[in-house]
Amino acid sequence: MKTTISQVGKYTDQEVVIGGWLANKRSSGKIAFLQLRDGTGFIQGVVVKAEVGEEVFSQAKNLTQESSLYVTGTVRSDERAPSGFELTVTGIEVIHEAVDYPITPKEHGTEFLMDHRHLWLRSKRQHAVMKIRNELIRSTYEFFNENGFVKVDPPILTGSSAEGTTNLFHTKYFDEDAYLSQSGQLYMEAAAMALGKVFSFGPTFRAEKSKTRRHLIEFWMIEPEMAFMDHEESLQVQEQYVTHMIQSVLKNCQLELKALGRDLSKLENIVAPFPRITYDDAIKFLQENGHEIEWGEDFGAPHETAIAESFEKPVFITNYPAEIKAFYMKPHPERSEVVLCADLIAPEGYGEIIGGSQRIDDMDLLKQRYDEHNLSEDAYKWYLDLRRYGSVPHSGFGLGLERTVAWVCGLEHVRETIPFPRLLNRLYP
Ligand SMILES: NC(=O)C[C@H]([NH3+])C(=O)NS(=O)(=O)OC[C@H]1O[C@@H](n2cnc3c(N)ncnc32)[C@H](O)[C@@H]1O
Ligand SMILES: [Mg+2]
């Protein structure tokens, strides 16, 4: 019976054929242990010379790392195995012999691994990260579909910037200037006026010269937008969404979390509601704890980490100064110097995973912001039309997928959270 490693449990004590690769091997004169992988998982194949005879045993002994092969064997339950099963090998058919596979079982430096990302992706650790990334994506669609949101895909090639013009990727659109999308938000606002509650999921681009463990040049963002919902209602959607994702990973990715050595107690208590702290109180907290920071300044990574350390769940920091936030954010009704926004800061030093706000819904105020931010009325005329024809209160947010993957997996750097990371000075492979 041809099957995959993830399905062997259905064939205990039966003979199966698995197509895969040799991830690693150790052997003695009488027995060989083959670490096999097939993309769906990992399993150990045991080859006993006395049982398989000289020819098969010699094949096993001569197998090279990452050679592709078909293995025939009997599935055995084994509670010591991570998957709960092992294979008693009875036959080997080599498909293609891999010679001198560069990523050997010994330690390798980061740059070496990044230069071989197209192969590094095969390792058990990267496999676990990609499976958790997949679960975060799957549970995202599940949450928004179950809550009446419609998937809408904003353009990647745009003529405008949502998050300021300092980190835009320019390109030509025939004879016109164009930019790779920094955020689909403005288009999602138009979609929300047509469909009520919408969400996007796609790549976004920031030409930021930030060389930190949290910054990618190309990253994937989930951007929900909700007509008739105010700032607080949006925060409730955010905390329910993050809760759903985390609990889904805990339910469906135990094997992968174990492979990463992740402390599950750090994730088990991640359930709504999440704490909220105002920007004002965050500034006071930092000043009282020895940080040199004045009201009006933005938070850096050390500030976010210090604030988050006071909480075991992600914490919303709300109502930042208007001066340090984007043009589209709605001013606080009683304090025009702050805006109705929030960043969601993950625990354990993982920093900002969500940025969101209630949007300006008044046309004159938005026009005033265009002037203040030197935005071209032509490029943004369509965005103003959303306030000209049936404007409504509306809110939305953007969750960075890779930062969320880093937090959930307990990873040191976002480079491991995306199949082919684009970092400062890295466009290969
Ligand atoms: N629809 C919205 O309201 C989203 C809004 N226009 C926006 O882009 N907000 S954000 O710039 O804070 O980015 C949102 C999130 O996107 C992530 N982000 C933002 N920039 C990056 C980089 N450079 N690398 C990785 N992840 C990044 C991070 O989690 C942020 O919290
Ligand atoms: Mg932000």
C-alpha 126/C-alpha 409 separation (Å) is 11
Task: Give the binding-site residues of ligand 1, using a 6 Å CB cut-off.
Answer: 162-163, 183, 185, 206, 208, 215-216, 219, 221, 223, 352-356, 396-398, 400, 402-403
Kindly tell me if the per-residue pLDDT of 416 is higher than 90.
yes
Instruction: Give the ipTM of the model, two decimals please.
Output: 1.00
246 CA distance to ligand 2 centroid (A)? 21
Question: What pLDDT, in 10s, does the model give residues 261-314?
Answer: 999 999 999 999 999 999 999 999 999 999 999 999 999 999 999 999 999 999
36 phi, psi to nearest 5 deg: -105, 145
Per DSSP, helices labelled H in 116-169 are: 117-120, 124-146
Average pLDDT of the chain?
Answer: 97
pTM above 0.95, yes or no: yes
Determine which residue's CA is closest to atom 17 belonging to ligand 1: 400
Angstrom distance (rounded) from CA 4 to CA 330: 53
Candidate of 144, 214, 221 to mutate for ligand 1, largest count of ligand atoms within 8 Å of Cβ: 221
In 3D space, the residue among 6, 23, 222 whose CA is nearest the CA of residue 121 turns out to be 23
| Alpha carbon nearest to ligand 1 atom 12, residue | 355
Residues in a beta bridge with 150: 198
Q: Which ligand is nearest to the CA of 167?
A: 1
Distance 423 CA to ligand 2 centre (A): 18
Asked if residues 89 and 51 have their Cβ atoms less than 8 Å apart, the reply is no
State which of 140, 158, 183 you would mutate to test the pocket of ligand 1, scoring each by most atoms of that ligand within 8 A of its C-beta: 183
Q: Ligand 1 centroid to 399 CA: how many Å?
A: 6
Nearest CA to ligand 1 atom 5: 398
Specify the 3-state DSSP secondary structure of 44: strand
86: tokens are: 């092992």
Q: Which atom of ligand 1 is nearest to the CA of 397?
A: 3
- pLDDT for the residue numbered 162: 80
- Asked whether residue 378 carries a pLDDT value surpassing 90, the answer given is no
Per-residue pLDDT tens digits for 35-81? 999 999 999 999 999 999 999 999 999 999 999 999 999 999 999 99
Question: Ligand 1 mean position to 102 CA, how many Å?
Answer: 36
Which of 222, 298, 352 most suits a substitution to test ligand 1, by most atoms within 8 Å of the C-beta? 352
pLDDT score at 405: 98
Domains in the chain (CATH in brackets) are: 2-96 (2.40.50.140), 117-416 (3.30.930.10)
From the CA of 185, give the closest atom in ligand 1: 1
DSSP, res 414: G
pLDDT, residue 418, reads 98
Q: How confident is the model at residue 379 (pLDDT cuts 50, 70, 90)?
A: confident
* Nearest by Cα to 51 from 82, 78, 87: 87
User: How high is the pLDDT of residue 360?
Assistant: 98
CB atoms within 10 A of CB 77: 12
Residue with CA nearest ligand 1 atom 21: 215
The closest-lying atom of ligand 1 relative to the alpha carbon of residue 215 is 24
The angle formed by the CA atoms of residues 213, 296 and 234, to the nearest 5 degrees, is 70
The residue whose CA has the least distance to atom 10 of ligand 1 is: 355
Say if CB 200 and CB 188 are below 8 A apart: yes
Instruction: Please state, in angstroms and as integers, the Cα–Cα distance from residue 35 to each residue in 25, 96, 108, 249, 260, following that order.
Output: 6, 17, 20, 26, 18
Distance from Cα 4 to the centre of ligand 1, integer Å = 38
CA 247, 249, 253, 258 torsion-angle sign: negative
**Residue type at 257?**
L
225-251: average pLDDT: 98
Cα of 61 from ligand 1 centre, angstroms: 50
Spacing, Cα 325 to ligand 2 middle (Å) = 9
Centroid of ligand 1 to alpha carbon of 319 (angstroms): 17
Q: Give the span between the Cα atoms of 52 and 30, in whole angstroms.
A: 10
Q: State which ligand 1 atom lies nearest to the alpha carbon of 224.
A: 1
Taking each helix axis from N to C terminus, what angle separates 401-409 and 124-146, rounded to the nearest 10 degrees?
120
Residue 165 scores a pLDDT above 90: no
Atom 22 in ligand 1: residue holding the nearest Cα: 215
Q: How far is the CA of 249 from the centre of ligand 1 (A)?
A: 22
The CA–CA distances, whole Å, from 32 to 62, 149, 327 equal 10, 53, 64
How far is Cα 215 from Cα 425, in angstroms, rounded to an integer? 13
Q: Where are the beta strands (DSSP E) in 128-270?
A: 150-151, 157-158, 169-173, 176-180, 197-205, 218-227
Structure tokens at 101: 């596979």
